[in-house]
Amino acid sequence: MDAYETYLDMSEQNTDGDSQRNLVKQSIPDRFMGMKAAVLTNNSSLKSFSATLGFHVLQLDELLRAHNADLQVNVEARELLKLLGFQEGKVVDNNQFDVVFFHIGAGEKVKSNESKVIAADVEYADALVAGIMCQAQPGSDISSRLHLSVVMSFGNVLEDDHSKFSVSKSFNEKNSYLSTLFPSQSYAMKGETPRKDVRHHSPMLIAQWQHGVTRKDNAGRFSFEDFKERGGNLTIPADRFLHEVAFKLWKAPKYGA
């Protein structure tokens, strides 16, 4: 979310007023042309932090209410699209939000209106994405207006994982006397200065779809190996992800090439 400074402000619990001013400066509507953003989650920490950043916080349990698995994802896909101003395959005049983040925590459990526990796992996320894509068929009014991003985090990782999950193509040559000739990749730079906080190993995985805007690559599975071998856009800094989404929604200027 590019909100690390805000996180530090909250952690330090400043009492001199500087913290509050920084929080206002970092709010989503102020940063992105009044962008109306919402978060669907059951995570209490994420609820609090999202509200601080200017998100509308919605209750995840209210959306996960159907007891039939097939019907459930179709209903939820329609409800999510409705929040964005898409209803019955059409674009309505007034949309409640410009962007909605649907957070699903690993191993999270949610309750339906039948008081049954539903596992919010990878299979559920896969079915939900399929439900949304089914509603946004190419050529429809929705497909020309919808941007969909799916993000999967590795969570807590160790640098020892870099041998298997490294995005640095020059990793194996780092001991070579030619290593200084390899130019730094754009994601590792900020202007003309190398970024010191770049983690080359175990990255977040992001897949994006927007008809006529995003490039289609040859990746067939949501996995690090497939993304690295067949992905189209390679790597961007994690703190630029929200800016890129806002740009595709016409809420921010272009960043990078």
pLDDT of residue 140: 86
Within 13 Å of residue 15, how many CA atoms lie on the same side as its CB?
Answer: 0
Give the whole-angstrom CA distance, residue 223 versus residue 183: 27
Q: What is the pLDDT of residues 218-239, one digit of tens each?
A: 999 888 889 989 998 788 888 8
Q: What is the pLDDT of residues 41-93, one digit of tens each?
A: 888 888 988 998 999 999 866 665 543 444 467 788 888 999 999 988 889 98
Higher pLDDT, 42 or 129: 129
Q: What is the pLDDT of residues 182-208, one digit of tens each?
A: 777 888 888 788 888 888 888 889 999
In the chain, what is the greatest distance between 2 CA atoms, to the nearest angstrom? 65
Orientation angle between helical segments 4-12 and 18-25, nearest 10 degrees: 160
Give the whole-angstrom CA distance, residue 210 versus residue 248: 9
Measured CA to CA in angstroms, residue 39 lies from 51, 102, 166, 236 at distances of: 9, 6, 30, 23
Cβ contacts of 26-31, under 8 Å, gap ≥ 24 = 26/53, 27/53, 27/54, 28/53, 28/54, 28/55, 29/54, 30/54, 31/246, 31/252
Give the whole-angstrom CA distance, residue 254 versus residue 237: 15
pTM over 0.85: no
Q: What are phi and psi of 180, to 5 degrees?
A: -70, -15
